[in-house]
A and B are shown apart, each in its own frame.
Chain A
Amino acid sequence: MFAKFIFIYCALLILGSGVAAVQLRNPVHSVLSVLVLFFHMAILYLLLNAEFLAAIQIIVYGGGVLVLYLFVIFLVSLRTEIKINRFVTNQLPAAVLAFLLCVILLAVLPAFQLGTKGNYTADHLSELTHTRAMGLEMFSNHLLSFEIAGVILLVAVIGGLVLARREKKSDQPEEPLTPSSHCEVEK
């Protein structure tokens, strides 16, 4: 019962902050409401006995990703959206479609039936602790995925670097690009 109450509370807040994030004029406000959403999501994870994920949710999402967003918002420092229409023109069809999608997905839910159970029963999990269980899984069964995720992060780093790096040449793109000029640029 208590759990249900918490769920309902979280659900309402998640939906509310979700709608707020989508609707608010100021991007900063949106980011903040998403932050609220993430926190309540973490609560739900706790409710589902996924402590490790709850922590990650707060650390990575709340602490990392959203902060990055905020940085960028401030970096591009565009507050124009506060003044002008924050929506693109096809609002109505988009709303209808999103609604339809929602309705259809809800409509199929009753047909949902749970698959074969695995061996991480609640007892087993609480005995192991979630973090340890995750570690075990990650480094045994999902080792490959873990490695790929590492490469993805590497690519993200490289990509972010490449994209965000301001090139010296950027101010004179018209300069003829001969091999000799490459060398000069390097110096």
Chain B
Amino acid sequence: METVFTLPPLNPILPEILLLCIGLVLIGIDLFFPRNRELLTRITLLAGVGLIAALLYQEPASSFGTMFVVDSYALFFKVVCLTGLVLATLMSDRYLDMEGIHQGEYYSLMVFSVVGMMFMASAGDLIVVYLGLELMALSIYCLVGLQKHEHRSNEAALKYFLMGSFSSAILLFGISIVYGMTGTTDIRGIGQAITDMSLINNPALMTGFVMILAGFCFKVAAAPFHFWAPDIYEGAPTSVTAFMSVAPKAASFAVLGRILFVAFPEIHHHWDIVVAVIALLTMAVGNIMALSQTSIKRMLAYSSIGHAGYALLGVLPGTAEGLSATMNYLLIYALMNMGAFAILILMCDKNNRRESLEAYKGLAGTNPMAAALMLIFFFSLAGIPPTAGFVGKFYLLKAALAAGYTCTVVGAVLLSAVSAWFYLKVVRYMYMSEPGESFTISYTPSLLVVVWIAVIGVVGLGIMPGTLLDWAASSLIGS
């Protein structure tokens, strides 16, 4: 019996392949033109920007059976991830110099992780999900541990690795149960099987589902699976932290959304309350613990946990509106968080990382522009109008309220006041304290570009959010 293998259409997967090639090219360049980091940066940027542009024009399609789905939902998340890549790359240049990270593999690993994320976003099958996840995770383990002489970096990488592996094992166990009960790993197929076989109230399926949920909650750093995040964010090189807080989170939300909405919509009435509790817990942990932090990097790590909680609010109602709110929020979050991290990197110089809150005292006096920009980012993170952060939060709250989750929303709102408290703390340090040391920030063009993109995004989307909202709303699964 002869079997003929036919190559499935590669058009839908072309961006991923291209990015993969870029990754390989980067390795090659690193090998043959060692230490020519500028070239690496430029190629990565070019690839990122080019792919974003390309993705905006990509047609919905699917390939490899149903394994790889290109719908506007996937494209949206891919754009978010690539945005993360581009901004992080822009930030990296100077930071890597400062920290003495000389591995040219930095960029290729980042690119590979984005490839993994893009696969995750497009995955129509749990196997692809798992592999994309691992591709992303393994690359990031390496990235986190890239500062090999830095204890904190080692520690962070190892912790991330250990906990990440543990959570993948749990995820896999969940997948195995679901696979056993539905006979398929295809996401849409699972949903179909649940209906067909009336598994809606089956405890075994629930268990499998919970384990999958836990796996992704781990990835998005939702409580109580968030424990890795603060340590790893703090220990990782700042540019990697910035990248991590945005891109992998977005990709994980993409998968989470797809799984919850395509595979498990039938049991929404079971998971909504769980997600609600997780979301509230996440916000509480993130926002409350951020209060007592003395390192701004760690504070932002907790804030990122808190924001994951908000993003979960959109997943919670199980409505298209909610999901688009989450998508919208993730893009906005990417912009404002990247902006804040860019300032963090701007603050560093070779002798002093200035990661403690104290370093920000009197910043408004010594570096008014940096302080003003940080102010905008932080107010946006706190969700104060007229910034994009508010629009994002507004959409989320609206979606959750529309589905009737009033108590959750009230809780979320109160916790967001707590978050304002610690964001204000930084603003307070910048504007209302006497400067401790006088230093001048030297702006590099690439960081300025990041900062301005972020500012324009944050303020622009705050005032004119229409386009983004429409895009997010129309990018729903299946449409």
Q: Do chains A and B touch in the complex (CB under 8 A)?
A: yes
A binding-site residues for B, Cβ under 8 Å: 104-105, 108-109, 111-118, 136, 139-145, 148-149, 151-152, 154-156, 158-159, 161-163, 167, 169-170, 173, 176-177, 179, 182-183, 185-186
Partner of A112, one of B139, B148, B181: B181
B287 to chain A, nearest CB (A): 27
Q: Which A residues touch B116, using CB under 8 A?
A: 148, 151
Tally the A-B contacts, defined by beta carbons under 8 Å: 129
Q: Which A residues touch B197, using CB under 8 A?
A: 113, 115-116
What are 16 inter-chain pairs, A to B, with CB distance below 8 A? A108-B206, A111-B204, A112-B181, A116-B196, A117-B183, A136-B3, A151-B116, A155-B112, A158-B27, A158-B109, A159-B139, A163-B145, A163-B148, A169-B100, A169-B102, A182-B102
Do A177 and B100 have beta carbons less than 8 Å apart? yes
Q: Which B residues touch A144, using CB under 8 A?
A: 13, 63-64, 67-68, 119, 128
A163 to B303, CA, bound (A): 30
Q: Is residue B207 contacting chain A, with contact meaning CB distance below 8 A?
A: yes
Chain B interface main SS type: helix
- Is the interface on chain B under 10, 10 to 19, 20 to 34, or 35 or more residues? 35 or more
Q: Which B residues touch A173, using CB under 8 A?
A: 100, 149
Q: Which A residues touch B119, using CB under 8 A?
A: 144, 148
Partner of A177, one of B98, B109, B203: B98
A166 to chain B, nearest CB (A): 9
Partner of B146, one of A113, A136, A162: A162
Given contacts A115-B179, A155-B139, A148 and B131 within 8 Å (CB-CB): yes
Do B8 and A159 have beta carbons less than 8 Å apart? no
A180 to B250, CA, bound (A): 38
Q: Is residue B358 contacting chain A, with contact meaning CB distance below 8 A?
A: no
Do B182 and A149 have beta carbons less than 8 Å apart? no
Q: Is residue B105 contacting chain A, with contact meaning CB distance below 8 A?
A: yes
Partner of A155, one of B98, B100, B142, B350: B142
A104 to B208, CA, bound (A): 12
Q: Is residue B85 contacting chain A, with contact meaning CB distance below 8 A?
A: no
Q: Which A residues touch B13, using CB under 8 A?
A: 144
Closest B residue to A179 by beta carbon equals B97
Q: Is residue B35 contacting chain A, with contact meaning CB distance below 8 A?
A: yes
A47 to chain B, nearest CB (A): 17
Do A112 and B35 have beta carbons less than 8 Å apart? no
Do A162 and B103 have beta carbons less than 8 Å apart? yes
Given contacts A136-B3, A148-B119, A151-B115, A170 and B148 within 8 Å (CB-CB): yes
A155 to B116, CA, bound (A): 11
Partner of B204, one of A109, A145, A154, A185: A109
**Apart from A144-B64, A152-B131, what 8 extra A-B contacts exist at CB < 8 Å?**
A108-B203, A115-B183, A141-B67, A151-B116, A159-B105, A159-B138, A162-B105, A182-B35
Given contacts A145-B67, A148-B135, A177-B100, A114 and B183 within 8 Å (CB-CB): yes
Q: Would you list the 10 A-B pairs with minimal beta carbon distance, nearest first?
A: A115-B183, A159-B142, A111-B204, A116-B183, A148-B131, A144-B64, A112-B204, A115-B182, A177-B100, A111-B203
A117 to B2, CA, bound (A): 25
Q: Is residue B44 contacting chain A, with contact meaning CB distance below 8 A?
A: no
Do A177 and B5 have beta carbons less than 8 Å apart? no
B1-33 CB contacts (< 8 Å) to partner A: 3, 5, 8, 13, 20, 27
A137 to B282, CA, bound (A): 41
Do A114 and B181 have beta carbons less than 8 Å apart? yes
Q: Is residue B424 contacting chain A, with contact meaning CB distance below 8 A?
A: no
B176-192 CB contacts (< 8 Å) to partner A: 177, 179-184
A82 to B109, CA, bound (A): 37
Closest B residue to A117 by beta carbon equals B183
* Chain B 191-228 near chain A by CB (<8 Å), digits 1 or 0: 00100110100111111000000000000000000000
Given contacts A151-B115, A152-B134, A182-B35, A142 and B97 within 8 Å (CB-CB): no
A156 to B112, CA, bound (A): 11
Q: Which A residues touch B205, using CB under 8 A?
A: 111
Q: Which B residues touch A185, using CB under 8 A?
A: 35, 102
Q: Which A residues touch B100, using CB under 8 A?
A: 169, 173, 177
Do B64 and A143 have beta carbons less than 8 Å apart? yes
Q: Which B residues touch A111, using CB under 8 A?
A: 202-205
Q: Which B residues touch A183, using CB under 8 A?
A: 35
Do A148 and B350 have beta carbons less than 8 Å apart? no
A12 to B105, CA, bound (A): 46
